[in-house]
Structure 1
Amino acid sequence: MRPIASAALLSALFATAASATPQCEGTVYADRNGNGRRDAGDAGLAGQRVSDGEIIVVTDALGRYRLTPREGSSQFLIKPAGYRLPARGNGLPDYWLNVRENEGPALKYGGMPRSEATCRDYGLIPQRAQGGEDLDVLVFADPQTKSAVDVGYYERAIVEPLAREGAAARLGLSLGDITHDDLSLYPRLNAATARLGVPWLHAPGNHDLDFDAARDEDSLLSFRHVYGPDTYAWEEPQANFVVFDDVVYRPGPKPDYIGGLREDQFVFLERYLADAPKQRLLVLAMHIPLFDAAPGRESFRRADRERLFALLRPFPHVLVLSGHSHAQRHVFHAAASGWQGAAPLHEYNVGAACGAFWSGVRDAQGLPDSTMSDGTPNGYARLRIGADARYALSWHPAPSAGRALDADSVANAHLRLYAPKTLRRGSYPIRGVYANAFMGREDSRVELRIDGGEWTPMRRVEQPDPALLAENARDDGAERLRGYDRAAIAMPSAHLWNAALPTDLAAGEHAIEVRVFDAWQGEQRLSTRYRLIEAAP
C-alpha cells in the first residue's frame, strides 16, 4: 500500500474512533462576585487546565474545554495561581466532578454513586495580587478518628485552638488517614475542619480505603465520593502542590497495602510536570513516606520511587510531606535511596494530629495526652513559603499534649528535657540530661551548659524518650486503666540528644540549660535543675 493511502486510512480510523466516543464540554470562567454560579458578564478564562487524572486539556479563548468522559474517573480543575475557588456545602473547595454512568461495586460506605453529568463548568474567583506575601499552610497528618468521641478530641485539641487564635493560613493539607476505617465519620470531620475557613486538600491514607473492594482501583471510591480525585494539582503564586494517593491496596495478602503509585498517576505526573515552572517550589503531599520504614523492608515500592525521583530530578526546589508513621523525622534523600538530584531531596515525615491514636491519660478538660512513640506531642505542622522557593517548617503541639509526661520532665513547644532530680556528689558522671527536639534533624546543633557556663555539644542518640518510658512504667504499675488506651510504647527517637551531668560541682542545686538551633525557627532554649547531695557509704 502506498504511504499516502496508509495515512488517509489512519486518518479515517481516528475520525471514526473519535465519533464513537462522544466528548463532553464545559467552561472555566471568572466568578467575579464569588457566588458559585456563572452570571451574565462572567467571562470565560483561556488557558485553564482540566484533567480526568490522566489527560490534561486546556480551555480555548472563550474558556471552553472538551474532554472524553472516562468511566469511574474524577475530573478536576487544576486551580491556577491568582484565583480561589467557591466552597461546597461541606466547606471543601469546589473543583471536581466524579464521572460514574454505570453502577459501581456495592460497598459498605457507599462507594461512588452514579453522576448526572460528565463535564461541568468551573468558577474561579480572582484574588488580589499577593505581592511579596508568604503562603502559610496548615498541615495535618493522621487525624485518624475511630469514633465520634475521637472526632470530638480532634475538634477540641486541634481545631478549636486554631479557630480561637485565627488560623491565619490560606491553605490546609491533610496527609491521609483522615479517619480510622470508619468512613461514615467524614461529614463530622469535615464540619470540624471547616470551622477554620481555609481551603482544605486531602490525600487518602491506608485507613481511608474501602476494605470490601475487590481491587485497588475501587478501594477509594467512598473517599472520592466525599473528597474528589485522589491525585491532583493545585497552584499558588509561591508554590505548586501535587497531592496524591500512594497507597496500593492488595486484598488478600498481609500487609494488605504497600506504598507506591499506579500507572495512571505516573501519566498525569509526567504531563503536569512537563510544563511546571522549575523556579517555583514543588510540594508533594502523600500519606506513606518515600523512605523505607526499616532497613531491608520495602514499605514503598522501590521501582515506583525511582520512577518518581526521575520525574522530579529536573526540579531544584522540591519538598515532600508525608504522614503514616505517627512519629516525626526529616529525611534527606540522596544516592543511597535512588535520588540523583543536584542537592538532597527533603522529606518531612509529619507527626500525627491524633498522636498515638488519641491514647493516654486525659487532662482536666478530658483530652488524652497522646504523645507519639518518639516522644513528640501530638499536634500539627505549619509550612510557610516565601519568595525564591524558600520555606520554613514548624511543629505546634496540641494544648493538651505531653502533660502526662511533664511529671518527669519540662517542655515547651520546641523541646522536652528529662533529667534526674538528684545525684550523689562525686558519683560517676554517667547519668545525664536528655533533650527531645521535636523538629530536630541529624545535622541539628544541640548544646548544654550548667550554671551559665560554657556551651558544650550534646550527643545525638537513637534511644526511646525517657519521659515516655516513665509513662509506660506508670501504666504498667497501675492497678486500673489510667486512660481508655495506654500511652504509646516508647520507641527509638530520631531527634533525641544526651549529655552527662557533672557531679564534681558543689553540693546543692544547679541550673541546666539546653539550646537547639532550629533550621527554620532559630535558637530555642529550655531550662531545668538538678541537685547534688553529699552522701556517705
Structure 2
Amino acid sequence: MRASLIALVLALSAVPAHALPPPCSGGQVYEDRNGNATRDAGEPGLPGIKVSNGIDIAVTDAQGEYGLDYVDGRTLFIIKPAGYDLAVRPDGLPARWRNLQYHAGPALKHGGIPQRQPDCTHFGLRPQAAAATKGELDVLLFADSQTSSVKDVDYYWRDIVQPLVGKHGAVLGLTLGDVTNDDLSLYPEILRTTMSLQAPWLFIPGNHDLDFDAAGDEDSLRTFRHHLGPDTFAWEEEAATFIGLDDVIYQPGQTPSYFGGLREDQFAFLQAYLPTVRKDRLLVIGVHIPVYEPGARGFRPADRERLFAMLEDFPHVLLLSGHTHTQRHWYHDASTGWHGLQPLHEYNVGAACGAYWSGVKDAEGIPDTTMADGTPNGYARLRVRAGGAYALSWHPARGTDDSGIGLHVPRVLRKGAYPAWGVFANVYMGDAETRVEYRIDGGEWKPMKRVEQPDPRLLLENMRDDTADALRGYDRSPEAEASPHLWRGALPTDLPEGEHAVEVRAFDRWRGERSARTSYRLQVGEP
C-alpha cells in the first residue's frame, strides 16, 4: 500500500507542470462588508449572481458558489447586479474580471495576458448606498481619447478629465473605444488619468486598441484585456443595463485589416444573457464602430440584423458608438433591419480627442481639435430615469460654451446688398427633427433651414491652413465635411448701418431651449 502511494506521488511529480489540469475553474461571490476585496469570516456568499466567461453564464448557488468550464486565455467576469458596488482594484478600476492564462500565451509586443497559476476566482460585492438605488443614473460617455503619446495624454488630462475632477457627479463612466492610438504602452498612463475621476469605469475596445502583431482576431485584444477588462461584458444598475461589445473584427494581412461585426461567442453570450435582462428599464448597448456604418470597414449587415432580432422585444434600447470623430443621431428602422415598434436610436458620440488632437493650440497649449463636422471635442452625458427614459447632452472640452450651438456670420456686409449671405448654426446634438430659429435685433423669430454642408467656421480654418507660410500646429485641422446638424438663415441687409445682434435658439429634445448670440455689421459701400 505504502509502495503504491509512493509510486503514485513519483509518477505525478514526473508530469510537466504545464500538463496538469488547472486546480479551479469556479469560485465564489460574497458580500464584501468591509470593502477589502477579501472574504473574511462572517461575510456570506451571495446567491443568484451571474458570472460569465464571455460565452456561458453561471449563476451562484445558495452559498454564493459558481462553476464554469476553464478555457485558457479567456476572461472571467462578474455581471455586477443592481444595488451593489464592486471592490476597487489598485489601479482604480472595479474588480470585475480575471484573465485565465495557465499556459503561456502568444508573444506580443505590448505584453498580452501574463501567464499565471490559476486559482479560484472570487468576487466581492457590497450594497450600494440608498441614494444610488433610486432608479436614476448619471453616466459620463467618452469616445476616442485616442492618445498617440504622453503629450496627448496630457492634452486628454487638461482638456477633458481635469475640469471634471470632483465636479461631475456621475456614478459610472464608459469609454467607447480607441482608448489609445495604436500605442498600447500608454494604457497605464491613460488609466491613471481617467481613474482620477473616481467613478467606476468601463472600457470598450476600438480598432486602435488592437495587438497588431496578433496572428488573428482571437488574440488581438489580449493587452487590452490585461489592462482594461473584458471585451464583452454586462453591468447592471437599477435604472439601466449596460452591455459592452467589441465590434472590431481584425483581419491581419488582409485588406481592409478590420471591419465591424460580432463574433459567434458574443452572440452566444447575448443568447444566454438577454433573456435574464429586465425590460422595464433602459438597455444600453455600447460598441465602437457604429452599427449604421456602411462600407468595407463598416458593420456587417448580417450581424446587424442578427443583433437587432435579439433586441426587438426590448421596449427601451439605446445604442452608443464612437469611431467616426464626428457626431450624429441615427434612427434605425426596417431599412437597416430593425423591426421593433419604435425606431431604434443610435447615438454616435463625438471624440474626446476631437480631430486627433489637431489644429492650432490655444494660450494653454491645447490644440483646437474641432471635428470634421464642426463639433468641438468633448464628452457626453447620459442621464437615465426609471422606466427606460433617458436624456443625452454634449459638453465641449473645458466647458467654454455649453450652449450646444456654434455660430458663424460674416463680420461685415454691404448695406442694401442682395441678402445672399447668412448665419450658420451648428447644433451639435441636433437631427432632422430639431427646430432651430433666429432673429435679428430682438425682432420676430424665423425658422432656419437645415443644410448638409461643411461648417463655414471649419472651412475658414482650412483656408487659414492653406494660405499659411508655415505650419500653424503640429497637425492641421481636418478637412471640413458635410455636417448633419447645420442650419442656415439669411441675413437682412436693409437695416440701418452699424452693428446688428443675431440670436439663435434651438429646441433640444432633452435640454429644452438653448440659445447663442453673435452679431454682424452693415456698412455703406460705394461702387
* TM-score normalised per structure 1: 0.92
Q: Does 1:214 align with 2:215?
A: yes
Q: Which of 148, 151, 157 does residue 149 from structure 1 map onto?
A: 151
1:59-458 to 2 correspondences below 5 Å? 59-129=60-130, 130-132=132-134, 134-163=136-165, 165-293=166-294, 299-399=298-398, 412-458=402-448
Q: Percent identity?
A: 59
Distance of 1:441 and 1:325 partners within structure 2:
17
Deviation of 1:530 after TM superposition, in Å, equals 1.5
Deviation of 1:505 after TM superposition, in Å, equals 2.3
CA-atom RMSD in angstroms: 1.5
Q: Name the CA shift for 1:133/1:237 in 2 (closer, same or farther; >3 Å).
A: closer
Counterpart residue identity of residue 330, structure 1: H
Tell me if the contact between 1:326 and 1:351 (Cα under 8 Å) persists in the aligned partners.
Answer: yes
Query: Which residue does the alignment assign to 1:470?
Result: 460
Q: Which whole-Å deviations, capped at 9, do the CAs of 1:121-147 have from their partners, x for residues lacking one?
A: 110011123353521100100000000
Q: Which of 483, 487, 494 does residue 493 from structure 1 map onto?
A: 483
Q: Which moves more between the two structures, 496-505 or 139-148?
A: 496-505
Q: Which of 425, 443, 460 does residue 450 from structure 2 map onto?
A: 460
Tell me if the contact between 1:47 and 1:58 (Cα under 8 Å) persists in the aligned partners.
Answer: yes
Where structure 2 has 5 or more consecutive residues not aligned to the other structure, the ranges are 1-20
Residue 438 of structure 2 aligns to a residue in which SS? strand
Deviation of 1:249 after TM superposition, in Å, equals 0.3
Distance of 1:103 and 1:478 partners within structure 2:
54
Tell me if the contact between 1:440 and 1:518 (Cα under 8 Å) persists in the aligned partners.
Answer: yes
Distance of 2:263 and 2:49 partners within structure 1:
25
Deviation of 1:399 after TM superposition, in Å, equals 2.3
Q: Which whole-Å deviations, capped at 9, do the CAs of 1:56-94 have from their partners, x for residues lacking one?
A: 011110101111101211011100000011111111110
Residue 503 of structure 1 aligns to a residue in which SS? coil
Q: Which moves more between the two structures, 22-31 or 351-360?
A: 22-31
Residue 469 of structure 1 aligns to a residue in which SS? helix
Residue 120 of structure 1 aligns to a residue in which SS? coil
Deviation of 1:21 after TM superposition, in Å, equals 9.8
Query: Which residue does the alignment assign to 2:27?
Result: 26
Q: Name the CA shift for 1:131/1:76 in 2 (closer, same or farther; >3 Å).
A: closer
Q: Which whole-Å deviations, capped at 9, do the CAs of 1:412-444 have from their partners, x for residues lacking one?
A: 541111011211122111110000011111110
Counterpart residue identity of residue 71, structure 1: D
Deviation of 1:400 after TM superposition, in Å, equals 8.1
* TM-score normalised per structure 2: 0.94
Residue 410 of structure 2 aligns to a residue in which SS? coil
Q: Name the CA shift for 1:349/1:66 in 2 (closer, same or farther; >3 Å).
A: same
Deviation of 1:532 after TM superposition, in Å, equals 1.9
Deviation of 1:297 after TM superposition, in Å, equals 5.6
Residue 284 of structure 1 aligns to a residue in which SS? strand
Residue 292 of structure 2 aligns to a residue in which SS? coil
Deviation of 1:252 after TM superposition, in Å, equals 1.6
Q: Does 1:45 align with 2:46?
A: yes
Q: Name the CA shift for 1:313/1:400 in 2 (closer, same or farther; >3 Å).
A: closer
Q: Does 1:506 align with 2:496?
A: yes
Distance of 1:134 and 1:533 partners within structure 2:
54
Tell me if the contact between 2:403 and 2:515 (Cα under 8 Å) persists in the aligned partners.
Answer: no
Tell me if the contact between 2:108 and 2:211 (Cα under 8 Å) persists in the aligned partners.
Answer: yes
Distance of 1:323 and 1:282 partners within structure 2:
18
Tell me if the contact between 1:157 and 1:400 (Cα under 8 Å) persists in the aligned partners.
Answer: no
Q: Which of 513, 517, 524 does residue 523 from structure 1 map onto?
A: 513
Q: Which whole-Å deviations, capped at 9, do the CAs of 1:256-283 have from their partners, x for residues lacking one?
A: 0000000000000111101111111000
Counterpart residue identity of residue 161, structure 1: P
Tell me if the contact between 1:367 and 1:400 (Cα under 8 Å) persists in the aligned partners.
Answer: no
Residue 399 of structure 1 aligns to a residue in which SS? helix
Distance of 1:398 and 1:245 partners within structure 2:
27
Number of matched pairs: 506
Query: Which residue does the alignment assign to 2:470?
Result: 480
Q: Name the CA shift for 1:399/1:25 in 2 (closer, same or farther; >3 Å).
A: closer
Q: Name the CA shift for 1:21/1:35 in 2 (closer, same or farther; >3 Å).
A: closer
Query: Which residue does the alignment assign to 1:405?
Result: none
Counterpart residue identity of residue 425, structure 2: A
Deviation of 1:298 after TM superposition, in Å, equals 6.2
Deviation of 1:175 after TM superposition, in Å, equals 0.4
Q: Which whole-Å deviations, capped at 9, do the CAs of 1:464-495 have from their partners, x for residues lacking one?
A: 11011101111111111111111111111111
Tell me if the contact between 1:360 and 1:483 (Cα under 8 Å) persists in the aligned partners.
Answer: yes
Residue 335 of structure 2 aligns to a residue in which SS? helix
Distance of 2:284 and 2:116 partners within structure 1:
32
Residue 513 of structure 2 aligns to a residue in which SS? strand
Deviation of 1:251 after TM superposition, in Å, equals 1.0
Distance of 2:137 and 2:406 partners within structure 1:
29
Deviation of 1:450 after TM superposition, in Å, equals 1.2
Tell me if the contact between 1:172 and 1:198 (Cα under 8 Å) persists in the aligned partners.
Answer: yes
